[in-house]
Amino acid sequence: MQQIGHWIDGKPATGTSGRSADIYNPATGEVQAQVNLATKAELDDVVARAAEAQKGWGATNPQRRARVMMAFGALINEHMDELAELVAKEHGKTLPDARGDVQRGLEFVEVCMGAPHMLKGEYTTDGGPGIDLYSMRQPLGVVAGITPFNFPAMIPLWKMAGALVCGNAMILKPSERVPSTAMRLAELLQEAGLPDGVLQVVNGDKEVVDAILDNEEIAAVAFVGSTPIAQYIYGRACTNGKRAQCFGGAKNHMIVMPDADMDKAADALLGAGFGAAGERCMAISVAVPVGQETADALMERLAPKVEALKVGPYTAGEDVDFGPVITSAARDRINGLVDSGVEEGAKLVVDGRNFSLQGYENGFFVGPSLFDNVTPDMKIYREEIFGPVLSQVRTNSYEEALKLTMDNPYGNGTAIFTADGDTARDFAARVNVGMVGINFPIPVPLSYHTFGGWKKSAFGDLNQYGPDAFRFYTKTKTVTARWFSGIKEGGEFNFKAMD
């Protein structure tokens, strides 16, 4: 059976802990590999190595660091299909979805090719008599990225590209459920010219996470995962004096106004609610039609589309709509939440609980479920399901729909479908959510903007990628300089001349 270790000092390394975790094929339920789990001592040793490697890398000029990103981006393009298959094999995504995972990560690598411009400081001449002021952006030193299972390529790329091009060394701790893509990306970075030790990939569980949070050499921690873990990591990192950005869960609403194109709205909800088996922090899990006629028209279009969704393994071809969820525990939790919706009185229009696929009976598959008449007090509304379940909550007015969205404790993404520009402008201005879509169901900004939620979806004041990444991974030093310009007389400055 394949054994996956770590990536240390520019090459694969076997762990010494003697501990490992199983990596499953979500489509079959079979163990396909094992990953070594590092100890605190191993992590501390790797951090020391990274700190030494960072000295030379941090002193390398930004243009040369950007050239490594250029070569890295070319290699990602060259190995796109290979990387997508690695993602699909461990996560269960369809191949088109897996390619999208890699592509969205690559887009930020491309932004990082412009690091020389992004890292420029500010300059003021003659701030006072003979006084100039200027600022410099300098690397933090050693930083860490802790990334989730649902985007094995995209989120590690978001973390490491920005950290590295800013001159830092990075400790990357990918999800132990999907380590292979991160390991392969490390190989490609090495091929692109990254010096040994600047990127270290350490696989592990909570022991390694806590070791990262407590290691005094690590200056910053970037995390994506569930809200409880995001809060935990943010609190412990800040207590230990680290810079931290921690992104958590979501409950994303899509308001559908009576004037919206119902066919387009239904198609948008289909992809946004069920793509990637709903395992996305930007998935739309709540449809909010305004008015009973709107709700009836939307459900009439949605139900047959949801029933027709094709579920299967990535090997079945590109016409599969989504694959399995990540673990049997995730499957059981999703089915349990659907049970609770039925018990609490929601109308289950499409039931995906008893889905079974011939030849893949032991896989972690969940069929699509669609609810109507969900209310905010129900468990399926309150909790992030992270599965292929869409709930419709009926409202009677725009203000009621807006309030529902704003009262939710999460604030990652939201959307509105309408033909009215005034309503769209009002929604975008007033809603307390970090990313807003107008007739756009999954409003993930392009990589030269920035990505981040509000409320319990994010902890920290700087977002992922875009300009905020360069701010997060650097510290600003400001210099105030005065050059004495008095005329030397007898080898001495004429200080009177400066008055």
List pLDDT tens digits, range 413-446. Answer: 999 999 999 999 999 999 999 999 999 999 999 9
Which of 62-71, 108-117, 121-130 shows the lowest per-residue confidence on average (mean pLDDT)? Answer: 121-130
Say if CB 154 and CB 102 are below 8 A apart.
yes
Residue identified by tokens 């977002």 is 463
Task: Give the integer Cα–Cα distance in Å for 450 and 472.
Answer: 12
| The residue type at 493 | F
In the prediction, which pLDDT does 492 show?
A: 53
Write the pLDDT tens digit of every residue in 285-303. 999 999 999 999 999 999 9
- Cα angle for residues 244, 245, 249 (degrees, 5° grid): 135
108-118 burial code (b ≥16 CB/10 A, e <16): bbbbbbebeeb
Take residue 121 and report the two structure tokens written for it: 């400081």
In the prediction, which pLDDT does 469 show?
A: 96
Q: What is residue 285's three-state secondary structure?
A: strand
- Cα angle for residues 131, 136, 141 (degrees, 5° grid): 145
**Residue ranges of the alpha helices (H) in 140-251?**
154-165, 180-192, 206-214, 227-239
Strands (E), 364-473: 369-372, 389-392, 410-411, 413-417, 435-438, 454-455, 458-459
Q: What is residue 440's three-state secondary structure?
A: coil
Say if CB 156 and CB 174 are below 8 A apart.
yes
User: By percentage, how much of the chain surpasses pLDDT 70?
Assistant: 97
Task: Give the integer Cα–Cα distance in Å for 320 and 314.
Answer: 7
Mean pLDDT (the chain, rounded): 95
Q: What is residue 404's three-state secondary structure?
A: helix
Write the pLDDT tens digit of every residue in 438-479. 999 999 999 999 999 999 999 999 999 999 999 999 999 999
Residue identified by tokens 């990387």 is 83
Of residues 204, 178, 191, 189, the one with CA closest to residue 85: 178
What 8-state DSSP symbol labels residue 479?
A: E
Burial of 448 (0-12, 13-18, 19+ CB in 10 A): middle
Of residues 455, 454, 447, 428, the one with CA closest to residue 439: 428
Q: What is the 3-state secondary structure (H, E, C) of 115-170?
A: HHHHCCCCEEEEEECCEEEEEEEEECCEEEEECCCCCCCHHHHHHHHHHHHCCCEE
Take residue 382 and report the two structure tokens written for it: 């309150």
Mean pLDDT of 38-42: 97
Take residue 23 and report the two structure tokens written for it: 């990596």
Q: All domains of the chain, ordered by start, with CATH?
A: 2-248+457-480 (3.40.605.10), 252-438 (3.40.309.10)
Take residue 199 and report the two structure tokens written for it: 């990127």
Task: Give the integer Cα–Cα distance in Å for 71 and 54.
Answer: 20
Mean pLDDT of 336-344: 98
Residue identified by tokens 């699909």 is 88
Say if CB 410 and CB 249 are below 8 A apart.
yes
Residue identified by tokens 């992270």 is 386
Rg over CA atoms, the chain: 25
In the prediction, which pLDDT does 128 show?
A: 86
Mean pLDDT of 365-376: 98
Q: Is a pLDDT exceeding 70 seen at residue 490?
A: no
Burial of 132 (0-12, 13-18, 19+ CB in 10 A): middle
Say if CB 220 and CB 143 are below 8 A apart.
yes
Mean pLDDT of 19-47: 97
> φ, ψ for residue 295 (rounded to 5)?
-60, -45
Q: Is a pLDDT exceeding 90 seen at residue 326?
A: yes
Which helix (H) or strand (E) segment holds residue 55: the answer is helix 40-59
Of residues 285, 284, 289, 283, the one with CA closest to residue 256: 289
pLDDT band at 318 (very low <50, low <70, confident <90, very high): confident
| Model pTM score | 0.94
112 in active site: no
What 8-state DSSP symbol labels residue 354?
A: T
